[in-house]
Amino acid sequence: MKLIYEKSIPGRRGMRPAQSDVPAGNNINPEWRREKEAKLPELGEVDVVRHFTGLSKGNFGVDTYFYPLGSCTMKYNPKSSERIAGFSGFADLHPLLGDMPKGGALSQGALQVLYEIDLMMREITGMAAFTTQPLAGAHGELTGILTMAAYHREKKNQKSKLIIPDSSHGTNPASGAVAGYELVLVPSDENGVIDLGALKKTVDDQVAGLMLTCPNTLGLFNPHIKEICDLIHGVDGLMYYDGANMNAIVGKARPGDMGFDIVHLNLHKTFATPHGGGGPGAGPVGVIEKLEQFLPVPIVVRNNDGSYGLDYHRPKSIGKIAPFYGNFGVILKSYVYILMLGKEGLERVSENAVLNTNYIKEKLKDYYDLPVPGLCKHECVFSASRQMKLGVHAIDIAKGLIDRGFHPPTVYFPLTVREALMIEPTETESKETIDAFIEAMIDIAKTAQTDPDSLHASPTTTIVGRMDETTAARNLNIACLD
């Protein structure tokens, strides 16, 4: 397929603007002007549409294929939510209306959505208050850890350490480091969860808190969660709940009831908003009552007359961590999703997610090594160690799945599992789709025994074949157009 620049024909145009009938202005700062014209492709409209439509056919997305990407919950997004988010009464609102004396009347519907989703997320998680400002899960993590730091500063606690399990998401240590904490890594035990004995040796008065994903990246729910929370609270530390895996327990268990003090939710994972492509995203953060005063401003409040407004008077707030009130369009889609499902529907989300995962685990455990046996939650992790002895690695299995019409699962994560294959089917996939995926995985396992070289060549059915990823990462070729 030619590049769009290669299709360019000098002088060809997609549209011709009307001749201006007003005098040309000259208020642009000369420093902002180009010294020479941009080298943009010149094509007709039909050529541009066909070019990008052709490119889109090579995309792999959840609307077109099964996407069992572990730890990311790539679930189908209801189109009804998308439609409502596009209503002009929401989509055409200016974000500054909420702060304007007369604009408040025009933004009441949007403010009501923000206010009510706060109440919904409180009920779902067991927290006392939420902020919808964070623009991604990792942004939510940072917001939560900054809230944790504000709490300790208020109490004049001399805390310098933040504990993180070795199976944590990579953004956990990054968030802790940005917030200024010394990171303390605690290993997993033979059961795949944080080693309680090692944790006890680590905890001291310098510990500000513990970041924990529960269930963790192996899809395992920690049976010692209450004891862990008591241990951290015993040194006036705070428990942070990484909500990336909330899809496994939504409607069934609440982090606040387990003893967590801070929670972030990935709306794209648990509450069905678009995921990937760099955004848009939303990672609301909830806290228990004693931390509410530190949340970012503004907070949406309901006034005595029933109207909605914005409260900036929070002297101990960590301040703004994003413009305005969060990624409103994304939050609105989750609001609609929660209303559509209701309490019973949310319970079925976790039930079906766990059922689908364990179905896959049982069907594939004879073909791939299972590092930790037993019941898992929303995702299961296999090891390709058996296939590695035949010269086939996890990356080869991933590429082989592409040729069979499936997006690969997460590979080589968590780092605690050699040749890891992390599979998460979510609750939105049918048994027929999951069975087809299982058949593909079994076929790959058999192919590894009979024709491993064919897997080394995969994918062969895509526009772009197997890339030399190591060379690509070390020798970047970034074209820069004048």
**pLDDT tens-digit map of 228-276:** 999 999 999 999 999 999 999 999 999 999 999 999 999 999 999 987 6
CA distances (Å), origin 64, targets 80, 178, 458: 18, 38, 20
Mean pLDDT of 144-163: 96
CA dihedral angle for residue 162, residue 167, residue 169, residue 170, rounded to 10 degrees: 80
382 has a pLDDT exceeding 80: yes
State the pLDDT confidence band at 473, using cuts at 50, 70 and 90. Answer: confident
In angstroms, how far is CA 383 from the centroid of its own chain? 24
Q: Is residue 351 part of a domain?
A: no
Q: Is residue 39 part of a domain?
A: no
- The predicted structure's pLDDT at residue 169: 86
- The predicted structure's pLDDT at residue 146: 97
Q: How many domains, in total, are found in the chain?
A: 1
pLDDT in tens, 385-400: 999 999 999 999 999 9
CATH code, domain carrying 122: 3.40.640.10
pLDDT in tens, 27-55: 788 888 888 888 899 999 999 999 999 99
Q: What is the greatest pairwise CA distance in the chain?
A: 78
Q: Is residue 369 part of a domain?
A: no
- The predicted structure's pLDDT at residue 23: 84
Domain that holds residue 260: 80-339
Asked if 122 and 134 touch (Cβ cutoff 8 Å), the reply is no
Q: Is residue 374 part of a domain?
A: no
State the pLDDT confidence band at 16, using cuts at 50, 70 and 90. Answer: confident
Asked if 264 and 283 touch (Cβ cutoff 8 Å), the reply is yes
Q: Is residue 170 part of a domain?
A: yes
Mean pLDDT of 92-104: 78
359's CB contacts (< 8 A; 6+ apart) are 431, 434
Q: Is residue 377 part of a domain?
A: no
State the pLDDT confidence band at 58, using cuts at 50, 70 and 90. Answer: confident
Asked if 125 and 263 touch (Cβ cutoff 8 Å), the reply is yes
Q: Is residue 253 part of a domain?
A: yes
Q: Is residue 154 part of a domain?
A: yes
- The predicted structure's pLDDT at residue 418: 95
